[in-house]
Amino acid sequence: MKTEQVLILARKHLGGDMESSARLCLADAVALYDKGEFTYARSRAVKSLAYSVGIFHPVYKRANA
């Protein structure tokens, strides 16, 4: 999955008990993406998904593959 797709998924699935942490990770991911640091941006977007949907959710698993 491309970095852009992971960013879209992270934005789409914001919410949950840890929404503030998910938003912080997503903001970091977008800033890193804008700087051209795609590997780190993807990592932060995946971390955002971990906070919003959890590591056992199929969306997280697909993004982290």
pLDDT at 10: 96
Domain that holds residue 10: 3-64
pLDDT at 8: 96
pLDDT at 58: 96
Whether residue 15 has pLDDT greater than 90: no
On whether the CB atoms of residues 54 and 28 are closer than 8 A, the answer is: no
17-58, pLDDT tens digit by residue? Answer: 899 999 999 999 999 999 999 999 999 999 999 999 999 999
pLDDT at 5: 96
Tally of structural domains, the chain = 1
**pLDDT band for position 16 (cuts 50, 70, 90):** confident
Task: Note the helical H segments in the chain.
Answer: 3-12, 19-34, 38-52, 58-64
Closest C-alpha among 50, 60, 55, 46 to residue 18: 50
